[in-house]
Amino acid sequence: MGHDLSGHRSRYQDALQYLFARTTGKSKFGLERTRALLAALGNPQDGLKTLHVAGTNGKGSVCATLDALLRARGLRTAKYTSPHLVDFTERFVIDGAAVDARYVVEFIERWTPEVERLGATFFEATTAMAFHYFAESGVDVAVVETGLGGRLDSTNVVRPLVAGVTSIGIDHVEYLGDTREAIAAEKAGIFKAGVPAASGEPDPAIDALLATLARDRGASRMASVWRDAPPRDIEVGATGTTFVLDVDGRRRSFHTPLAGAHQASNAALALLLVREAGAPYWDGWDGAAAALERVRLPGRFHLTAPYIFDVAHNPAGAAVLARTVQHVAPAAPVTALLCVLEDKDWRGVMAALAPVVSHFVLTDAPTAPRSRSWHLADARAFAMAHGWSATAEHDFEVALAEARARGATVLVTGSFHTVGDAMARLQVDPLAG
């Protein structure tokens, strides 16, 4: 849980304060500042072998699975994801270990003048830090998750070995558009000429659109989970998800520790991406099946009895979470500790969860931006109008205790902030295990 920095602790907090102060509140889209900052760093991204992943839901699962598959090949593997749950250093991981906080301090203190000169945002600076750290560490390959969108996302300066897009849903409409087609077009911006691509989108129409966009952008090949390797015979239980793929003329069984029917398609997408990357990243389906067993992903149906942590924050993610709860059938009753940011469709999230939740404890996550806080009275009124049992409690620790007192199982969900704040208070290490 964090790092023992001794005298560096205050410098680490200062560095984080500086970084987070560069969160603009409104995204400053464009790759110019990222490219300029990376140029000042010597363009470390150009020497990295990367696998690039975009999408609305499932990015974290696909990236975690890619990391496990690549590490099983004996490769020194990096992973850049966002946001973090408990500590900022979780965003930069090499071989399962987070970056030492001292590196964050040293990077920020060294490169602040360039960050200031260029007006780089929080995510632009952290992306540059990730590529610099991975290059200095001499990793064999890096798994890179987009932050927001794809086309103009700061990570879209890499020329990857392969690019993948997960499922497409309605989220971040103010930046990406208000239709799945428009959002798909933004996500497909990571496809590149001469680079193989893959899609995990289950809707045939959106999948076909992604294939068209890949072709228009000159992708060398386009694989699709639902056209090329659709998961069959999916079974979900407390130990994860089993499924079958018909690949290379054989029916093969797989198991991922990640629970949920959707995790079968996320795993299949990761498998296709590594296959498309080729040697030395891929050594066939048999080795891949064994590697899947090693996948770990904090905050996605993360079971630490009596708690289930899940960062679902839009209706599609919440619906998937609800179905997984139904499949796993944890001890009843199930209460929900819920905090959703005001700019998300919290009504849709509550509606999706209501069939599996006996009582909602609505709260404010301490780390959530105050400017994006939802209105607890409105949320409780919405619940009561639909006949759902709900209480509202601003104090997070009191709310956590109430949820535990009311439920045999506590579902902690609604945002990364909700999950991270609960993990911190319950002393659950996101990277353990």
The pLDDT of residue 24: 64
Cα distances (angstroms) measured from residue 422 to each of 258, 399, 417, 431: 20, 10, 8, 15
Q: Compute φ and ψ for 278, nearest 5 degrees.
A: 75, -170
Q: Is the pLDDT of residue 176 over 90?
A: no
Please name every residue paired with 256 in a beta bridge, in sequence order, or none if there are none. 241
Band (177; pLDDT cuts 50, 70, 90): low
The pLDDT of residue 86: 95
Q: Is the pLDDT of residue 291 over 50?
A: yes
Band (432; pLDDT cuts 50, 70, 90): confident
What is the secondary structure of 45-58 as a DSSP string? GGG--EEEEE-SBS
The model's pTM is 0.89
Q: Is the pLDDT of residue 3 over 70?
A: no
The pLDDT of residue 6: 55
CB 390 within 8 A of CB 360: yes
pLDDT (mean) for 113-121: 96
Band (27; pLDDT cuts 50, 70, 90): low
Q: Is the pLDDT of residue 162 over 50?
A: yes
CB 271 within 8 A of CB 288: yes
Band (178; pLDDT cuts 50, 70, 90): low
Work out the mean pLDDT of the chain and round it to a whole number: 93
The pLDDT of residue 5: 46
Band (174; pLDDT cuts 50, 70, 90): low
Summarize pLDDT for 193-222 with one digit per residue, the tens: 999 999 999 999 999 999 999 999 999 999
pLDDT (mean) for 300-316: 93
Distance (Å, rounded) from C-alpha 189 to C-alpha 300?
26
pLDDT (mean) for 82-90: 95
As given in the structure block, the two tokens for residue 161 are 């070995």
Percent of the chain with pLDDT over 70: 95
Query: Cα 249 to chain center, whole Å?
Result: 33
pLDDT (mean) for 154-166: 97
**CA quadruple 237, 361, 428, 294: dihedral, nearest 10:** 20
The pLDDT of residue 7: 59
pLDDT (mean) for 135-143: 98
Q: Is the pLDDT of residue 431 over 90?
A: no
In terms of Cα–Cα distance, which of 130, 157, 151, 146 is closest to 46? 157
Distance (Å, rounded) from C-alpha 5 to C-alpha 133?
19
In the CATH hierarchy, which top-level class contains the domain 6-230+260-289? Answer: alpha beta
CATH topology for 302-426 is: Protein-Tyrosine Phosphatase; Chain A (3.90.190)
Distance (Å, rounded) from C-alpha 270 to C-alpha 384?
41
Band (170; pLDDT cuts 50, 70, 90): low
As given in the structure block, the two tokens for residue 66 are 């890619």
Band (1; pLDDT cuts 50, 70, 90): very low
Query: Cα 291 to chain center, whole Å?
Result: 20
CB 35 within 8 A of CB 266: no
Band (23; pLDDT cuts 50, 70, 90): confident
pLDDT (mean) for 32-51: 98
Band (311; pLDDT cuts 50, 70, 90): very high
The pLDDT of residue 26: 54
Half-sphere exposure of residue 52, counting CA atoms within 13 Å on the CB side?
30
All structural domains of the chain with their residue ranges = 6-230+260-289, 302-426
Q: Is the pLDDT of residue 164 over 70?
A: yes
Distance (Å, rounded) from C-alpha 432 to C-alpha 303?
12
pLDDT (mean) for 371-388: 96
Q: Is the pLDDT of residue 4 over 70?
A: no
The pLDDT of residue 205: 94
Cβ atoms < 10 Å from Cβ of 178: 9
